[in-house]
Chains A and B, each alone.
Chain A
Amino acid sequence: MLDKLGTPLPDSSGLSSVRLLPLELRNLSLDIGGRGLIEGVDLYLEDPSLTVIMGPNGAGKSLLLRLMHGLIAPTGGAILWAGVPINAQIRRHQAMVFQKPVLLRRTALANITHALWLRGVPRGRRIPRATQALQLAGLMQHAFTHARVLSGGEQQRLCLARALSLDPDILFLDEPTASLDPASTLAIERLLIEAHHHGTKVILVTHDVGQARRLAHEIIFMHHGRVVEHQPALRFFQQPESIAGRAFIAGDLVL
C-alpha cells in the first residue's frame, strides 16, 4: 500500500481498504425550522477528480459538505458511498478541514498524534506518521510549539497536515483559505494538489473564483440550497449554463 504522503507505509491503521466512490446524493434535503436550506439535491460523483463546490454565501455549500461527511443528518433523501449510507467505518476513510482552524490546546505534534490515536493508529506508529505530515506541511520546526500560538496560515496548514496524516481517501475542505494571505493560500493549494496526486479525492468548498480556476477539475455550483450546475471545470468557466453561474464568474454580485 502506498500512503497518500507518497512513501510506502505498512497498513498501519489496520483497516482494510474500503471503496467509497461513487458518491451518490439522492433528492437530498435539509430543513431547519421550516426553512429549506438544502433542497432536492441530486449528485453523482464517481471519479477521483478534484471537485470544487462554489456559490455565494448562504447557498448551502458548507451544509452540503457536512451532510456528505455525516456531521449532520439530512431531513430527506439519501447519501450513499458506493451504495452504502455513511457509517463510522466509512468516515474513518475521510477527513475534513474547517474554515476556522480547530486545534487542541497542545503542541503541533500532539495535535496530530491525538487524531491518530482517535483513529486507532498504534502508539508506536503515531509519532513517525505525525512527523512525516509535519515535514510535508513545512511545519517541522514548529513540532513542539503550542498549536494555538502559530500564525493563522500555519494553523490551517497544521489542520491540513493533521487531516493528511490520517491518510484519507476523501478529503473535505470548507473554505480553508478564506482568511489567509496569498502565501499561505498557495502553501495550502500545493498540499491539496499533492494529496490529490497521491490518490485522495478532494472536495473543496470555496467562493474564491480564482482558487476554483486554479484547482478544480469539476465544479458544483450552488445557489439558494440547490445544485444549479455540475460541470467539468473548463466548460463551467467557458460557458456556464445558469444565469447565477455566469454572474458569479463575471464577478457580479449574485444575490
Chain B
Amino acid sequence: MSGSIDLDGTLRQIIILYPQLIEIVGLSLRVTLTAVAIATIIGFAIGGILAVSRFPGSSALIAIMNALMGLPPVIAGLVVYLMLSASGPIGVLQLLYTPTAMIIAQTLLVLPIVTTLTCRTCQDLLEEYREQLHSLGASSAAIVQTLLWDGRYRLVTPVLAGIGRAIAEVGAVMIVGGNIDHVTRTMTTAIALETSKGNLTLAIALGIILLVIALAINVVLMWMGKLPSHFANA
C-alpha cells in the first residue's frame, strides 16, 4: 500500500479483524481502567491526607508527586521492568509480560496526577472550611472525608486526566507488557507494531478508536467544567 488508503478495503478489513480488534481494545480498557481505579483509591487518600495534615516530609512528598506528573512513561516502564525482572526484588512473582505488569506500570504513571490534583482541590476547599471545621471539632480523618465528598464534582477531573494519560501511553506497556499477541497487546502497542510493519489498516482502525475514546474523555472533562458553578465550584 502506497500513499493513498483504500477506505473500502479498510472497512472490510476491520470487519474481518473485528474479533482481534475487540480483544485489543478490551485489554487496553481493562488495563487502563484497573490502573486508574487503583490510583484513584490511593491518590484520593494520599491527596486528601497531604492537604490536611503536616508531617515530616509532607511538603517534599507534594513536590515529588508534582514533579512525577510529567514522568516519561518509558521511565515508569523501566522501573517496573527492573522490579519485575527475574533478578528484580519481586521477580519471583513472574509478573513480567503480563497484563498485571502493565497495570502496575500505569498505576505508577497515573498516581502522581490523581494525588496532586486531589491535593490541590482539597487544599482549596480547606482554605474555605478550615475555621468552621475546627470550630465543630472535626478530626483530621473527618476533615479528609468531608473535603473528598464536597470536592466530588471537581475530583472527576483528576480521574479523567488519569484515564487520558494511561490509555494513550505506549512506552510503559510496551516495556513491561512486551506487546505479546493475545496476551499483552494494547491499542497503542498494536498501532506502533502495525505501523512499523506497514499494515496501516489495523493501525488506522485502532487509531480511530483511540482517538474517539480520548475525545470522549475531553468532552466529558469540558462538560464537567460547565456543571452549574454552585455545585462544582461555588
Residues of A within 8 A of B (CB): 66, 69, 71, 88, 91-92, 94-96, 98, 102, 104-106, 114-115, 117-119, 146, 148-149, 166
Query: In B3-37, which residues have CB < 8 Å from any A CB?
Result: none
Q: Which of chain A's residues have a CB closer than 8 A to the CB of B149?
A: 106
* Bound complex: CA A92 to CA B139 (Å): 12
Q: Which of chain A's residues have a CB closer than 8 A to the CB of B138?
A: 118
Known: A105-B150, A114-B146. A88 touches B131 (CB 8 A): no
Verify B230–A102 contact, CB threshold 8 A.
Answer: no
* Bound complex: CA A96 to CA B138 (Å): 14
Verify A104–B129 contact, CB threshold 8 A.
Answer: yes
Verify B132–A146 contact, CB threshold 8 A.
Answer: no
Contact of B131 among A91, A98, A117, A119 (CB under 8 A): A98
Residues of B within 8 A of A (CB): 128-129, 131-138, 142, 146, 149-150, 153, 230-231, 234
* Bound complex: CA A114 to CA B137 (Å): 12
Known: A69-B135, A95-B135. A106 touches B128 (CB 8 A): no
Contact of A98 among B132, B230, B231 (CB under 8 A): B132
Verify A71–B146 contact, CB threshold 8 A.
Answer: no
Minimal beta-carbon separation of B58 from chain A (angstroms): 21
Q: Is the interface of A mostly helix, strand, loop or mixed?
A: mixed
* Bound complex: CA A71 to CA B137 (Å): 10
Minimal beta-carbon separation of A149 from chain B (angstroms): 5
15 of the cross-chain contacts (CB-CB < 8 Å) are A71-B131, A71-B135, A88-B137, A91-B135, A95-B135, A98-B132, A102-B128, A104-B146, A104-B150, A105-B153, A106-B150, A115-B136, A117-B142, A118-B133, A149-B230
Verify B131–A92 contact, CB threshold 8 A.
Answer: no
Verify B137–A119 contact, CB threshold 8 A.
Answer: yes
Q: Which of chain B's residues have a CB closer than 8 A to the CB of A117?
A: 142
Interface-centre pick from A69, A88, A106, A114 (highest chain B CB count, 10 A): A114
Q: Which of chain B's residues have a CB closer than 8 A to the CB of A88?
A: 137
Contact of A148 among B135, B136, B146, B234 (CB under 8 A): B234
Verify A102–B132 contact, CB threshold 8 A.
Answer: yes
Known: A66-B131, A105-B150, A119-B137. 13 other contacts (CB 8 A): A69-B135, A71-B131, A91-B135, A91-B137, A92-B137, A95-B136, A96-B132, A102-B129, A104-B146, A106-B150, A117-B142, A148-B230, A166-B136
* Bound complex: CA A11 to CA B142 (Å): 23
Verify B137–A146 contact, CB threshold 8 A.
Answer: no
* Bound complex: CA A218 to CA B138 (Å): 32
- In the complex, residue of chain B having the shortest beta-carbon distance to the beta carbon of A70: B134
- In the complex, residue of chain B having the shortest beta-carbon distance to the beta carbon of A94: B135
Q: Which of chain A's residues have a CB closer than 8 A to the CB of B128?
A: 102
